Amino acid sequence: MDATGTDEVEKLKSKFKSAWRNMKYSWVLKTKTYFSRNSPVFLLGKCYHFKSEELPEHSVDWPEFSLLDDDVISGNVEEFRKDFISRIWLTYREEFPQIEGSTWTTDCGWGCTLRTGQMLLAQGLMLHLLGRAWVWPDAAHVESSESDSWTMHTARKLAASFEASLTGERQLKVGPALKPVEKRNCVDDETANEVYHRKIISWFADCPLAPFGLHQLTDLGKNCGKVAGDWYGPAVVAHLLRRAVEQTLESELQGITIYVAQDCTVYHADVFDKQCSSSSCERDIKAVIILVPVRLGGEKTNMEYVDFVKGVLSLEYCVGIIGGKPKQSYYFLGFQDDSLIYMDPHYCQSFVDVSIKDFPLESFHCPSPKKMPFKKMDPSCTIGFYCRDVEDFEKIAEELTKILKSSKEKYPLFTFVKGHSKDFDCPSIPVCESGNLSLTDENKSLKRFSTEDFVLL
């Protein structure tokens, strides 16, 4: 068989596997997420209470939630829902332009850690350009379509793809040029924010020109021997994100940079150097996203670190955690009691051409949160923080130091040290790593949950 025929077979195999995963888990994972009405819920530094002080005079219909009794729960339920949905959700995609030097047109089965890293960076950019209080105006209207069975839809896509492959009618998809977001005379903040919202999503598009897209990240990975289809650990992804931000030419991103901690140590002077691009520091100050790769134990997560993770996710400048459980990577962004709240990248969606004006946003926002016990968390992860200026960094260093010292463990997960890393003869971290979040072909997929799958106990 010639090379062209082999490529077509591999593409067909890849499509069949991704379709089979989604069909398999479209009913297996049709589960509801349960939240306690008596415990606070933390989401990237915001605290929500679902229990009302007193019942309203009239019964209120909550179509978004299924309650286990007739009690009416008010409080912050709707605010939490809109806040969660407003976070940018980046998942497996298929049918995107072929990654250069490979036959890959999907990242199903191997790209989940890259996707969780993208979600963390997206949250940092949202803090930078939109602020933590921003909520997507359409968040209240996000629902899954009930007009068609998702499983049947996937089956039809698979059949159509198979038929096209056999008849040779498939054409190589060419990556779209990233059009600059149209500049408008913004008459209000809402219009300006929506421009930024779309632009942030476009920076993560699955095409070669997107600065933080899968094509760009896999290209950067070549410098450490990684290729598309390989597994990328949380620490590797941290360095790829740093490189991607450093080399972007987007004008809106010239005021932000990324610092990756070395040997679980954040050096104050190194962060200051990142923030101050010249001697006139006050004029050229940059915001910085601090990424700290850590291990929360040996083969399993040490439960003594749970309070630390909770403390981190309770801070308003936290941009989340690149983590997961063995064989799967998740983006952790909150918690309730002894469970983490996460977004799952394993649901495979179709490629979206962001060069189209008013491209659809719905697939970039997750309609329902998922929860996972802390005890299932893989110990290998990367924690992220956003600092707008030097004063912010000093406050963050002080607050995190208190949380680190309060840990029950004798040795803190990471430390803040005055001076430069070079003052301590600290070598730079190798970008490549081997980690515990190993992947297999049986990555679970996330169904498009309706808001009725969100349950209060």
Domain edges within the chain: 3-58+66-169+178-456
> Picking from 41-55, 163-177, 420-434, which range would have the lowest pLDDT averaged per residue?
163-177
pLDDT score, position 21? 59
Name the E strands within 328-453: 328-336, 339-343, 349-350, 370-373, 380-387, 415-417
Residue 137 pLDDT class (50, 70, 90 cuts):
very high
Query: What pLDDT, on the 0 to 100 scale, is given for residue 55?
Result: 40
Q: Is the pLDDT of residue 297 over 80?
A: yes
Sign of CA dihedral 108, 110, 113, 117: negative
Which residues, including other chains, have CB under 8 Å from residue 392's CB and lie 6 or more apart?
317
Residue 249 contacts by C-beta under 8 Å, 6 or more apart in sequence? 211
Task: Indicate whether 100 pLDDT > 90.
Answer: yes
Q: Which listed residue (112, 318, 348, 381) is catalytic?
A: 112
pLDDT reported for residue 11: 63
CA–CA dist 23, 153 (Å, integer):
9
Q: How far is CA 70 from the centre of its chain?
A: 36
> On the CB side of 214, how many CA atoms lie within 13 Å of its CA?
34
**CB-based contacts of 128-133 (< 8 A; 24+ apart in sequence):** 128/255, 128/256, 128/287, 128/386, 128/388, 129/196, 129/200, 129/252, 130/193, 130/196, 130/197, 130/200, 132/44, 132/45, 132/46, 132/316
7 is catalytic: no
Amino acid identity, position 244: A
pLDDT higher than 60, residue 261: yes
Burial zone of 155 (CB within 10 Å; 0-12 exposed, 13-18 middle, 19+ buried): middle
Tokens coding 342: 């996460």
Distances (CA, A) of 100 to 142, 173, 174, 217: 35, 12, 11, 12
Integer Cα distance of 217 and 210 in angstroms = 10
- Residue 293: per-residue pLDDT: 97
Closest C-alpha to 309, from 406, 437, 239, 410: 406
Contact criterion met (CB below 8 Å) for 308 and 413: yes
Catalytic position from the list 206, 219, 270, 344 = 344
Indicate if the alpha-carbon torsion angle 146, 147, 149, 150 is positive or negative.
negative
CA distance 394 to 385: 12
Could you report how far apart the first and last alpha carbons of the chain are, in Å?
58
Using 50, 70 and 90 to split pLDDT, how confident is the model at 1? Answer: low
Q: Which of 197, 239, 346, 365 is catalytic?
A: 346
Contact of 187 with 195, CB cutoff 8 Å: no
pLDDT of residue 425: 65
Per-residue pLDDT at 244 exceeds 70? yes
Structure-token pair, residue 94:
């298929």
Q: Is residue 303 within 8 Å of residue 440, measured between CB atoms?
A: no
Question: What is the total residue count of the chain?
Answer: 457
Per-residue exposure over 242-273, b if at least 16 CB sit within 10 Å of its own CB, e if not: bbbbeebeeeebeebbbbbbbeeebbbebbbe
pLDDT at 382: 98
Identify the pLDDT of residue 422: 82
Best CA proximity match to 241, nearest among 386, 134, 419, 108: 386
215 assigned to active site: no
Any catalytic annotation for residue 346?
yes
Q: pTM for this one? A: 0.82
Mean pLDDT for all residues in the chain: 79
pLDDT for the residue numbered 14: 64
